[in-house]
Structure 1
């Protein structure tokens, strides 16, 4: 997301503005940015491959330089850090916590390289001679209205008679963050970057709120439980080796079917490693640098998401 200020009025370009987070950022700008003069939304459905995303990010940076756009906020991901495929836990870490990032899947590799491009571009001269000011936001696992994976899990549970079967140990914790708070952080960063560029420029920030730390499945049940689903089992129903076998089989099928159709299973070796590795964040860097506080409480975030799930099949609120 890039912005430029002219006579106290702001023009925003939101790239990926038709996606899950992008739509929430657009709504947040319309609701919370009183100096908004013009909002431009751009979305191009690129493939997931590394070269395409890296080239696209470089094109955005070059466009900022050529047009004199001074501020660039990049939506990164916690996955530029981890969890790594070795299963090393990241427990209550922050932006400075040492952690071995091991990227073999195209998505985290591409996000990590794109983030590096954006942060290294900080200070580059744009048209008119001013310095480009950049920063990156790293959401943990985003949830909320419109979340496709939660939608898929909900429908899967319905097909299984209102049941979901535990696959991940309850002791594995994950950080989650409500999409409205991620959108709010984007708006706040873009606003404060103009005044605090010397402090914020070239920095990366985790996106966080007060959502509870739980396993991925137990957290989902905070939302899906009130919608009629129940989680079966206190321990994983299937052993890890069997889940890995199924994950590898899914990956093989995806590769074989790629020329004919898009097969995107929820379970693959990368998602299995992610789900089985603790990754939780405890940081106040965003609060210290630009005054971030979550706009939505955990209770409000949960209520909004439950309402969205219930509305998907016309269930009573």
Structure 2
């Protein structure tokens, strides 16, 4: 099934993943009628990328806040598909919990309400592996799937906000639209995303340059995860969108969540950064700066200091117990169900993803702004 003639709204369209989804939609052989790009602000670089496509698909840029009901209703009216990637990502506790909730949870609820009001039949939500875990005990998962039992006990605000938003999306499936139609929803739980323009990789690259071109080891080698290339998670969104247009496929994926990974080799987060840029001559430290248990309690100490200073100054530690557990727990998942239910197959190989990411890293580390 194609997306020919579909009018699609992409939230978070100016972001790392959103831009890639839009690019793939614009490259569709059978043109969509319209793509509306919603974000709070767009960089000049993003607008330039969108401007390169001079196809039959009409592109509308919508700058505004997802919490603004009037703006949201105007953005939704007349569309038939929503791909909702917009959210605040926060692994360090930098963002006030109220703001995190307003954008990630309330923003999603408002968007679902607008879908019912304006008869938008198809809704795809970008979720995250952190909805599952790892939990605070660091229980590992090896090659898990959607049926894997796991006790998720994370109280970290970002993970909680995404879990609650995903619940709202999946429970909204089957709601009756204003015109009598039916809302169909699904959620894609992405692994950690890497690729060209990845803000987390660029952040670690800057620290590497300051450390004489040697990456700091922030996760032990045994903590295997399976990150996903940005082009492949974007492709999964396009394939899910196509499947929702097909009545036979739609009945299998409605109200379901899917783990989206690809064929990136299983490795730790620290080793991923190293593998993506090793051809540029970078090294990596052989072990953690201190034993894992000590690192965990050192992070607890920093959290206590932050709490004690809160009445006087806002101190955000460089690490916390949640982050230490997240980065040092083996946590891998299969994309088998997504392949079986809606035909997801990675579009880009590991070598292609590695080469594309490395090219960007090369240009970054040789730019004037990153010289040490």
TM-score by length of 1: 0.90
Matched, 1:120 2:116: no
Distance in 2, matches of 1:135 and 1:166, equals 36
Per-residue deviation, 1:90: 0.9
On the 8 A contact 2:259/2:334 being kept in 1, the answer is no
Q: What does residue range 187-266 of structure 1 map to in structure 2 within 5 Å? A: 187-195=238-246, 196-233=249-286, 235-251=287-303, 256=309, 263=316, 265=318
On the 8 A contact 1:141/1:176 being kept in 2, the answer is yes
Distance in 1, matches of 2:311 and 2:27, equals 41
On the 8 A contact 1:223/1:306 being kept in 2, the answer is yes
1:186-232, Cα deviation, whole Å (9 max, x unpaired): 11111111112211100101111100001111122111212332012
* Residue number among 75, 95, 101 corresponding to 1:51 in the alignment: 101
Q: Tell me the equivalent position of 2:204.
A: 153
Per-residue deviation, 1:170: 1.3
Q: What does residue range 43-122 of structure 1 map to in structure 2 within 5 Å? A: 43-44=39-40, 49=97, 50-52=100-102, 53-122=104-173
Unaligned stretches of 5+ in structure 1? none
* Residue number among 294, 302, 305 corresponding to 2:357 in the alignment: 305
Matched length: 307
* Residue number among 223, 227, 230 corresponding to 1:176 in the alignment: 227
1:126-148, Cα deviation, whole Å (9 max, x unpaired): 12111100000001111111111
Per-residue deviation, 1:164: 2.2
Matched, 1:272 2:304: no
On the 8 A contact 1:167/1:238 being kept in 2, the answer is no
Change (3 A) 1:69 1:56: same
2:33 partner SS: strand
On the 8 A contact 1:33/1:187 being kept in 2, the answer is no
* Residue number among 137, 145, 157 corresponding to 2:188 in the alignment: 137
Change (3 A) 1:18 1:253: farther
Q: Tell me the equivalent position of 1:29.
A: 25
Distance in 1, matches of 2:155 and 2:108, equals 20
Q: Indicate the larger mover: 84-93 or 38-47.
A: 38-47
1:67-126, Cα deviation, whole Å (9 max, x unpaired): 100000000001111111111001110011111111210011011110000000000011
Change (3 A) 1:257 1:305: farther
2:173 partner SS: coil
Q: Indicate the larger mover: 238-247 or 146-155.
A: 238-247
Unaligned stretches of 5+ in structure 2? 41-64, 66-87, 89-94, 368-372
CA-based RMSD of the aligned residues comes to 2.2
Distance in 1, matches of 2:336 and 2:253, equals 14
On the 8 A contact 2:170/2:256 being kept in 1, the answer is yes
Distance in 2, matches of 1:124 and 1:199, equals 17
Q: Which is bigger in relative contact order (C-alpha 8 A, separation at least 6)?
A: 1
Per-residue deviation, 1:251: 3.9
Distance in 2, matches of 1:282 and 1:13, equals 29
On the 8 A contact 1:75/1:137 being kept in 2, the answer is yes
Per-residue deviation, 1:242: 3.4
Per-residue deviation, 1:243: 1.9
* Residue number among 42, 46, 54 corresponding to 2:38 in the alignment: 42
* Residue number among 9, 14, 21 corresponding to 1:13 in the alignment: 9
TM-score by length of 2: 0.77
1:158-205, Cα deviation, whole Å (9 max, x unpaired): 001111233432111011100000001111111111112211100101
On the 8 A contact 1:93/1:283 being kept in 2, the answer is no
On the 8 A contact 2:262/2:335 being kept in 1, the answer is no
